[in-house]
Structure 1
Amino acid sequence: MREDEYGRRSRNVFIALWIGATALKCALAARLPLFVDEAFYWQEGRHLAAAYSDLPGLTAWLTRIGVETGGQHAWALRWPFLAIAALLPWCIGKIAAREFGETRGWQAASLAVLLPLAGTLGVLALPDVPLALASVVCLDAGARLLRGVDAGTALQLALGLAIGALSHYRFAAVVGVGALALLWLPEGRRALRDARVWVALTIGALAWWPLVAWNVDNADAGLRFQLVDRHPWTVHWDGMWFIAIQLLLATPLLFVAMALAARRGLRDASPAVRYFAFCGAASVAGFFVLGFFADNERVSFHWPLSGYLALLPLTPAVLAAWPRFWRRAAWMLLAAGLALGLSYYAAVSLPALRAHAAAEKWYPANFAGWDEVREAVRRRLKAMPPGTRVVADNFKLGAELGFALNDPDIRVLDHPLNHRHGRAPQLRLWSLAYAVAPGAKPTPALLVVAASEVQYKRLLDHYHSLCVQVGPLPPPSATVKVDHGAQRFLLFDLPAQRPAASAPCTAPAMAWFDAPASGARVGNRFEVAGWAFKDGVGLARVEITLDGKPVAQADYGAANPGVAQFWRISNDPQHPNVGFKASVDASGFAPGRHWLGLRLHGRDGSVEAWRDQPIQIAR
């Protein structure tokens, strides 16, 4: 095949891939429920500022542009991020074409479309999207500086540095790696002696000023969270998973190809090739080392993306030298990886699949339940006095309800999640940290509690902290059980005149199945055993349900002293007699998977549906 024909074919393949991937992402962005971080960025966009407790301002500004131009729905919120993500492969292709020829440019652009970490960008309104754009703009500017400094290149560098500084704290790593790359190369050191480059660097440095000013005004709360609070800074061996995870996310053969491209590129005669190789290798290796010391609780698999983007222009040459079988296998694995990544979002957007995954570790809790709790809140507000305020028990719920109700000023209680995600300082700045001020006029409130957001072993502590903040809790006016209780919300009508916070805590019920175990195989008749209690008032009875239908009344009140020994703060007056047993006749249910649940009836008249667990009925 002639070179010009090969180039046209590479261009046509890229355009087809780009159109297909972009169309799929737009469709997914229109269907996918709002992720909790997206909701908080929307809330930040409704309180416009230069910087916030968790991020610089750009992500919030983009969400504001989205909803202002497209309306109050998820696709509108996401469209600016989709547009930026769609631009990235063209930028990669332009860089590769300039350095290595048009054919290699189209191939590198296709790699950028298919690389799962890059190809899924834009489906969610996250700061990684403008951060990736800033990384590519700066990468291109750095490569152009090696050829010679001109005003246009300096302006491009300034633009990239400014976008990155306004995107995320993590862009500092991109700046550091890029600076080291330029200092390593003689051509880079020559460029750094030009005054125009220093003007660009100064503009880039000034773009950090809003973030610096916010931290100065707020006792370094944001910086302390990003660099200290969220990281253990002690050696943990979870970092060993880095390579395995990246092999999957970059696909194994492309990961090997990028590694070979980096290794060969560092020894290449071309300054631009050495520059790309250094930026990519240093970034990926740096995050690998950081993985042994940094945050291992939150998602960090996407951190090396800027390094992969730097290596993509070098990778087509490596793939071209492989035998045809391995070259095709690399492209096929890459396409399968992107399809798998987009399929995850497709699965998350389907309520039936979310419900099926309710008992699995990968259940997408941050996408689920928001529509159901919104409707429950709307129904309840109609029955409450005018002027009733909605109060959420954590920032996630507050932001999601805020977006659903188009109210960015929903008050939020103090919650461990607010601090663990660095959002508590911002809530205080917005005066949204809920507290009943002494002497303030009492007003009714609808408290919405996300019971499933707290680890079960800490749930009773959380309920008691609610009592401290708002007083003893009345019976729930509604229980919203989504996906068999994997997401569970409780609504409480708080009257204007409330009991004193010092009164004994009345809390929602707690329960546990001792038998059968989750996922157990049972026959037509099986025994159910466990325990349940309700602080403050106790339980009147426990009802057993199967697929939401009552199937048995449990014998409640058996002695179980171990419960009170574990839940030491519990004040249920019936301790230790909180055990229950029941015999269930499931002969009317078809063989297969079913959901075993509880309906807990409190002595105060409350009725709470407990989380279900799966069982397998076998004949």
Structure 2
Amino acid sequence: MRGDDVRTLQARRAFLWLWGAVCLLKLALATQLPLFVDEAFYWQEGQHPAWAYSDLPGLTAWLIRVGVEVAGNTHLGVRLPFLLIAAALPWLMVRIVEREFDERSAWLAGSATVLLPLAGTLGLLALPDVPMALATLLCLDAGARLLRTVDYNAALLLALGLAIGALSHYRFIAVIGVGLVALACLPEGRRALRDPRVWIAVAFGAAAWVPLLAWNLDNAEAGLRFQLVDRHPWALHPEGILFLPLQMLLVTPLLFAALLWAAWRTLRGGAAVPRLFALLGGLMVGGFFGLGFFADTERVSFHWPLPGYLALLPLLPALLDAWPRWLRRATWALAAAGLASILGYYLAVSIPGVRAQSAALKWYPSNFAGWSTLAEAVEEARAGMPPETRIVAGNFKIGAELGFALEDPRIPVLDHPLNRAHGRAPQLQLWGLHTRGRSDWGDAPVLLVVGATDVPYRELLQRYQALCQRVGPLPPPRVLNIDHGRQRFLLFALDGATKRGGGACVTPALAWIDAPVGGATVQRPFEVTGWAFKEGVGLYRVEVTLDGEVVAEAEYGLPAPGVAGYWGTSADPSHPDVGFRATVGTDVPLPPGRYWLGLRLHGRDRSVEDWSEQPLLIE
């Protein structure tokens, strides 16, 4: 066997092992990983079949509906179609590269598709990026064919890719625009664009946008305004420079450098097809880099350049062959480590104990956390209420996640800033699931489920007061602290007896521990100071807890005039005397170690609320 044949065989075996191992690992993780909030909402969309929705075209919701019909209303059912599509992507890459270059390069490009972290993790979440990646590769394949000769097979492939992309996400418009520019930059591409069969394919792809455009025309362009206007500041901001280090981290540094260098080298001199790949990838990645200085910085956008990286992967094997052996190995090793790190993150998110220990960290995965626990608490609370009790969610996230867990896609949702910030408010209106509050419920009993950590803390009192305006004075809540309160829910059993405006606004308590600060190291005895208040009725007792056990009773009612000044609209009758101080002494049997410091707040309305905890190291 010749040396080239041996190297090809080795590349093929490496690809098969990598592809099989990663697919099996993703399959196992997909059954355990809690649903991300966007997945839950897409599931809800799938339970309300339509051609398009307020946030997306219809394909993602349709795929989820197919998945749950085949595999049941489970995490795997939601994600199964996306896992299958993601598993096919490396093989499609192999097919493209084998035809355009050679077999060994094809297997290497396939392995790179598996190891590229942004591509290798596709399918673990039921998100539109998965069918959009498929559409990108289909268009890439069609474009390469069209440069050689325009025939009906290439035109059909282009039409299919354009249609899938149009049904996947608004963001696919960038792929279309860059593709047309790239073809126009090449003589062979301009020749292809003069063929009517190409424009018939483009027209077919354009027709796939009709349902989305029709939805926008019927709904005051709500989707277009959200995607193109509302979510973006469209003003220059320096955070865009973070694109480079973030992409180097997510793609891995050597692979990121290799892809960009491959694009530059190919553009300086190469055949038509490689130059097409370089143009597509370079313009896509560079375009999103430039867009980052003007576009949305609040929501996740690190995955946007993925279509550009997919276009550059076919160029990678030739570049790596020119690198020293140690550098090639380092590139593959770093890519594998990057993929392992992201899969490891998803594994950690799937383990409740690990999530709980990460409660004090910035990367705490709140959009994955606590939904099954919340569903169990809701079921338990509803069992103790009248049979006709309705569940009402405080925002779209709670409504969608509870809907999936309870198999009820018709849970009404109160108005909330999150509904508008994520473009879901118009869709809830169309489904008739937006509720104004007690004025819509009459005297019916309601179990209201509210998130206490879904708005910035400084806006929490205002949010509670808005709830009072909608539902009346709030009864003592059942507090659900998940992961030491990092994810916090309040369950209110409303019997309908108290009407809107029927009394003073009574809200859940608010508190703060001034000392010791979170993560501090202390020795016993140590003092705990802070403040706490409860709108409308006030508190009469504050207890200090460690790991949920009461270890001290605080002296409550100390002067804290700055609290009322900060909150402004607070009407706790105890202001300004809402401060507390407690001493955790040596009489409490506490061996040295890490503990979670919290508060137990006793309201004059007989409510007992456990406040969120913060880590503390006792020496």
TM superposition score category, shorter chain reference? over 0.9
2:493 is matched with: 493
Give the CA deviation at 1:503. Answer: 3.4
Q: Does 1:566 align with 2:558?
A: no
1:172 is matched with: 173
Do 2:54 and 2:427's aligned partners in 1 also have CA atoms closer than 8 Å? yes
User: Equivalent residue of 1:544, what SS?
Assistant: strand
Do 2:414 and 2:437's aligned partners in 1 also have CA atoms closer than 8 Å? no
**Paired amino acid for 1:573:** P
2:197 is matched with: 196
Unaligned runs of 5+ residues in structure 2 are none
User: Equivalent residue of 2:490, what SS?
Assistant: strand
Give the CA deviation at 1:436. Answer: 4.5
1:229 is matched with: 230
Give the CA deviation at 1:173. Answer: 0.1
Q: Does 1:517 align with 2:517?
A: yes
Distance in structure 2 (CA, Å) of the matches to 1:437 and 1:609: 27
Report the identity percentage: 62
Q: Structure 2 vs 1, CA of residues 359 and 436 (structure 1 numbering), >3 Å: closer, same or farther?
A: closer
- 1:552-594 residue CA offsets vs partner (Å, 9 max, x unmatched): 1111111111100001111111111111111112651221210
2:295 is matched with: 294
Distance in structure 2 (CA, Å) of the matches to 1:617 and 1:316: 54
Do 1:56 and 1:166's aligned partners in 2 also have CA atoms closer than 8 Å? yes
Q: Does 1:547 align with 2:543?
A: no
Q: Kindly tell me the number of residue pairs found equivalent between the two proteins.
A: 617
Distance in structure 1 (CA, Å) of the matches to 2:309 and 2:501: 54
User: Equivalent residue of 1:510, what SS?
Assistant: strand
Do 2:36 and 2:368's aligned partners in 1 also have CA atoms closer than 8 Å? yes
Give the CA deviation at 1:441. Answer: 4.3
User: Equivalent residue of 1:533, what SS?
Assistant: strand
**Paired amino acid for 2:591:** A
Q: After TM superposition, list the pairs within 5 Å mapping 1:184-223 onto structure 2.
A: 184-223=185-224
**Paired amino acid for 2:39:** E
Distance in structure 1 (CA, Å) of the matches to 2:590 and 2:431: 52
Do 2:470 and 2:500's aligned partners in 1 also have CA atoms closer than 8 Å? no
1:148 is matched with: 149
**Paired amino acid for 1:553:** E
Please list every run of at least 4 consecutive aligned residues from structure 1 whose deviation after the TM superposition is greater than 6 angstroms. Answer: none
- 1:68-103 residue CA offsets vs partner (Å, 9 max, x unmatched): 111111111101000001111111111111111111
Distance in structure 2 (CA, Å) of the matches to 1:443 and 1:154: 59
Give the CA deviation at 1:497. Answer: 2.7
Q: After TM superposition, list the pairs within 5 Å mapping 1:275-286 onto structure 2.
A: 275-286=276-287
User: Equivalent residue of 1:51, what SS?
Assistant: coil
- 1:27-69 residue CA offsets vs partner (Å, 9 max, x unmatched): 1101101110000000000001111010000000011011111
**Paired amino acid for 1:206:** A
- 1:203-225 residue CA offsets vs partner (Å, 9 max, x unmatched): 10000011101110111111001
**Paired amino acid for 1:508:** P
Q: Does 1:397 align with 2:412?
A: no
- 1:315-365 residue CA offsets vs partner (Å, 9 max, x unmatched): 110001101110111111111111111000001101111000101111000
**Paired amino acid for 2:167:** L
Do 1:468 and 1:502's aligned partners in 2 also have CA atoms closer than 8 Å? no
Do 2:438 and 2:470's aligned partners in 1 also have CA atoms closer than 8 Å? no
Q: Does 1:265 align with 2:266?
A: yes
Distance in structure 1 (CA, Å) of the matches to 2:441 and 2:609: 33
Do 1:14 and 1:107's aligned partners in 2 also have CA atoms closer than 8 Å? yes
Distance in structure 1 (CA, Å) of the matches to 2:69 and 2:441: 35
User: Equivalent residue of 2:344, what SS?
Assistant: helix
1:596 is matched with: 597
Q: Structure 2 vs 1, CA of residues 527 and 456 (structure 1 numbering), >3 Å: closer, same or farther?
A: same
Distance in structure 2 (CA, Å) of the matches to 1:578 and 1:232: 40
Distance in structure 1 (CA, Å) of the matches to 2:558 and 2:109: 68
Distance in structure 2 (CA, Å) of the matches to 1:527 and 1:328: 55
Instruction: Give the structure-2-normalised TM-score.
Output: 0.98
Give the CA deviation at 1:442. Answer: 2.4
Distance in structure 1 (CA, Å) of the matches to 2:510 and 2:200: 62
1:11 is matched with: 12
Q: Does 1:123 align with 2:124?
A: yes
Do 1:394 and 1:412's aligned partners in 2 also have CA atoms closer than 8 Å? yes
Do 1:81 and 1:123's aligned partners in 2 also have CA atoms closer than 8 Å? yes
**Paired amino acid for 2:14:** V
Q: After TM superposition, list the pairs within 5 Å mapping 1:339-488 onto structure 2.
A: 339-436=340-437, 441-476=442-477, 478-488=478-488
Do 2:468 and 2:500's aligned partners in 1 also have CA atoms closer than 8 Å? no
**Paired amino acid for 1:51:** A
Give the CA deviation at 1:502. Answer: 6.1
Give the CA deviation at 1:265. Answer: 1.3
Do 1:114 and 1:334's aligned partners in 2 also have CA atoms closer than 8 Å? yes
1:581 is matched with: 581
1:162 is matched with: 163
Give the CA deviation at 1:435. Answer: 2.1
Distance in structure 2 (CA, Å) of the matches to 1:520 and 1:439: 48
Distance in structure 2 (CA, Å) of the matches to 1:506 and 1:439: 21
2:69 is matched with: 68
Q: Structure 2 vs 1, CA of residues 250 and 501 (structure 1 numbering), >3 Å: closer, same or farther?
A: same
Distance in structure 2 (CA, Å) of the matches to 1:600 and 1:56: 47
Instruction: Give the structure-1-normalised TM-score.
Output: 0.98
- 1:88-145 residue CA offsets vs partner (Å, 9 max, x unmatched): 1111111111111111000000000000000011001011101111111111101100
1:315 is matched with: 316
- 1:276-325 residue CA offsets vs partner (Å, 9 max, x unmatched): 00000000000000000000111111111000000000011000110111
Give the CA deviation at 1:536. Answer: 0.7
User: Equivalent residue of 1:484, what SS?
Assistant: coil
1:239 is matched with: 240
**Structure 1 stretch displaced more, 192-201 or 208-217:** 192-201
Distance in structure 1 (CA, Å) of the matches to 2:347 and 2:382: 33
- 1:490-524 residue CA offsets vs partner (Å, 9 max, x unmatched): 10011123233363211000000011111111112
User: Equivalent residue of 1:367, what SS?
Assistant: coil
2:536 is matched with: 536
Do 2:438 and 2:500's aligned partners in 1 also have CA atoms closer than 8 Å? no
Distance in structure 2 (CA, Å) of the matches to 1:500 and 1:66: 43
Q: Structure 2 vs 1, CA of residues 439 and 283 (structure 1 numbering), >3 Å: closer, same or farther?
A: closer
1:505 is matched with: 505
Do 2:438 and 2:471's aligned partners in 1 also have CA atoms closer than 8 Å? no
Distance in structure 1 (CA, Å) of the matches to 2:599 and 2:141: 60
Q: Structure 2 vs 1, CA of residues 40 and 182 (structure 1 numbering), >3 Å: closer, same or farther?
A: same
Distance in structure 2 (CA, Å) of the matches to 1:592 and 1:552: 18
- 1:450-482 residue CA offsets vs partner (Å, 9 max, x unmatched): 101111011001101111111111111x21111
Distance in structure 2 (CA, Å) of the matches to 1:417 and 1:85: 30
2:114 is matched with: 113
Distance in structure 1 (CA, Å) of the matches to 2:216 and 2:599: 48
2:330 is matched with: 329
**Paired amino acid for 1:428:** Q
Distance in structure 2 (CA, Å) of the matches to 1:463 and 1:438: 17
**Paired amino acid for 2:298:** E
User: Equivalent residue of 1:362, what SS?
Assistant: coil
Distance in structure 2 (CA, Å) of the matches to 1:537 and 1:437: 22
User: Equivalent residue of 1:79, what SS?
Assistant: helix
**Paired amino acid for 2:581:** K
**Structure 1 stretch displaced more, 494-503 or 91-100:** 494-503
Give the CA deviation at 1:21. Answer: 0.5
Do 2:30 and 2:125's aligned partners in 1 also have CA atoms closer than 8 Å? yes
